[in-house]
A and B are shown apart, each in its own frame.
Chain A
Amino acid sequence: MRRRAPLAGALLWAFALVYLAPVAFMVVGSLKPDALVLREAGSLAAFWPEGASLQNFRDVLRRVDFPRYLLNSLIVTGATVALGLVVNGLAGYALARLRWRGRRAALALVLALLVIPFEAIAVPLFYLVSLLGWRDTYTVQVLPFVANAFAVYLFYSFFLDLPRELEEAARVDGAGVLRTFWSVVLPNARPVLATVAVTTFLFQWGSFLWPLLVTTSEAVRPLPVALAVFQTLPPRQWGDILAFGVMMVAPVVLLYLLFQPAFLRGARLAGPKG
């Protein structure tokens, strides 16, 4: 089946060229004078930045507090990823490996909650965090997303498949549960850690509905909401908007290119077993 297929390759490359044209359009447009972005959108000039400059990027930084939004997104995403790895990793381990009464019930609860999509609870969750006085904070963007049923499930199934021998050896040597987890289990858990980190990162970095509801001030506003506000800001300058987009997606693309296996494994792990 793995015959060389130059024709399939050529067709796929041709498709990719068209498919990724919107990305090229954004990058090239971000380098053009604002007025030219729409004027040249319908011709091949859309992909050729005549008189390229970084003026749009300077304009974005002058018009809005982009570094602030970036910092907000970094804080919210970073905190959710870090706390999530600890909380869900430990829970997944305890559910997969430790013997305690109540384990089955806890596992059943996690599996049942997997079914509830965030959108179904956004409205009452908003009411809850309003009562708690959490609106317009980092906390409200981080805390509800730390414990995650899907992440617990990913850890749980990974630890189930991990061979027991190493842990048993450590336990026989007198190491406690936490010590065994730290020194024997974690070093072998890098694939699942990377996968959960990447999926949490993508979810939070792109999160739009929730911060749209709960943030009002620029002090805690993350990038996607800031972009949505910026693109309606008069004067509507498309070069600036595209420059904002490029700056917003550049860190993600960089991470993706550096840690590509973890991103692709994330998609595969989310898929069905076998």
Chain B
Amino acid sequence: MGRRPPAPDPFPEEARAGRWLTAPALLGLALFVLLPFLGAVAFSLTDLRLGSPRGPSFVGLEQYRRLLEDPAFLAALRNNLLFALGVVPLQTGLALLLALGLRRRFPGRAPLRTLLFLPVVFPMALVAVMWTVLYAPGPRGAVNALLETASLGLWEPRDFLHDPAWALPAVMLTSIWQGVGFQMVVLLAGLQAIPRELYEAARVDGAGPWRQFLHVTLPGLRNPLLFVVLVTAILAFRVFDQIQIMTQGGPGHATTTLMYEAVRAAFVRQQLAQGAALSVVFFLLVLGLTWLQRRLLRQRAVLA
């Protein structure tokens, strides 16, 4: 047909096997990841509605313009940011403390590590239900009672999940509880990979525990720390399950998130195009964080 036939593969048997063995995975990824992704971008430029008899028409960036005027969207964006700003340092700091402790030798270290990782295997839906019970309003609620005892009676019992100021922090604490064990294990592996000679050298140079932490532990943990920080930040933008079960985005817009708004737009208001636009915004944020992560991690690889 005028085109030259491609040169034969140098290893015909491997070539045939290679194409057949990758075909199912590539087909699946193309159909269920790439196609929907392109669909999200395409739908976001239309006014597609679920179950509408009228076909969609092209509206350009109208959906994005509407988002910028939507108080729920702006609240969601703010909440996701607050979520990341709160959860990332607290969870990482706690995980680092636990990992540093678990590096020491003491009786019962192995079972302790097992127990501290346990919540990671709990489904988020269950964790959300458990904490809804713990946050029960009134002086008899578990968290209220604990804070009252700890503050020697100064604490005023409140209805955490219906309190505009407390609902988001309450959901954040729930997420930290479920996720900290994962970070702890990653950081512990990082700690154990730091050569012991570095600590001995630091001691010979007269460095105390604090200087050893600053000059040996932290630089040695750079990559694991960057990894957990950025993965947790990305997770903070993906939050949905806890919101759906614990607060439904309320009170008002106090705990709504991008994913929660995307689902509401697409499935409650039937505005699929609006949901797609929210998905694209969400993706761009995650893409930015992923780009940052790969850049920072690669930098290190080049230096090392």
Contact = CB atoms under 8 A, between A and B. Distances in A.
Interface of A: 1-6, 8-13, 15-16, 19-20, 22-23, 25-26, 29, 37-43, 46, 87-88, 90-91, 93-95, 98-103, 106, 109-110, 113, 115-117, 119-128, 143-147, 149, 152, 176-178, 202, 205-206, 208-209, 212-213, 223-225, 227-228, 231, 238, 241-242, 245, 248-249, 252-253, 255-257, 260, 263-264, 267-268, 270-272, 274
Nearest to A130: B50
B122 to A, nearest CB: 6
Pick the most buried of B21, B141, B290: most chain A CB atoms within 10 A of its CB. B21
B66 interface: no
Contact of A267 (B114, B125, B182, B262): B182
B267 A213 contact: yes
A4 B287 CA distance: 44
Contacts of B148: 42
B286 A117 contact: yes
A134 to B, nearest CB: 11
26 contacts: A8-B104, A9-B112, A23-B118, A38-B141, A41-B136, A42-B142, A94-B18, A94-B22, A99-B15, A99-B18, A102-B19, A117-B234, A128-B36, A147-B24, A202-B121, A206-B122, A206-B125, A228-B129, A242-B130, A252-B121, A256-B118, A263-B120, A267-B117, A270-B186, A271-B227, A272-B297
Contacts of A268: 185-186, 189
A25 B142 contact: yes
Q: 3 tightest A-B contacts by CB?
A: A147-B28, A9-B106, A42-B145
Contacts of A15: 98
Given A43-B145, A115-B287, A178-B17, A4 B106 contact: yes
A267 B240 contact: no
Contacts of A109: 26, 29, 34
A91 B26 contact: yes
Contact of B114 (A37, A93, A260): A260
Contacts of B34: 109, 113
B244 A41 contact: no
Contact of B290 (A46, A90, A115): A115
A29 B132 CA distance: 14
Contacts of A241: 129, 133
A116 B33 contact: yes
A72 to B, nearest CB: 14
B263 interface: yes
Interface stretch (B37-45, B69-77, B81-89, B163-171): B37-45
A13 to B, nearest CB: 6
A22 B13 contact: no
Nearest to B231: A270
A228 B40 contact: no
Contacts of B224: 271-272
Nearest to A10: B106
B117 A12 contact: no
Given A147-B32, A245-B130, A177 B279 contact: no
B106 A5 contact: yes
Contacts of A22: 130-131, 134, 177
B104 A208 contact: no
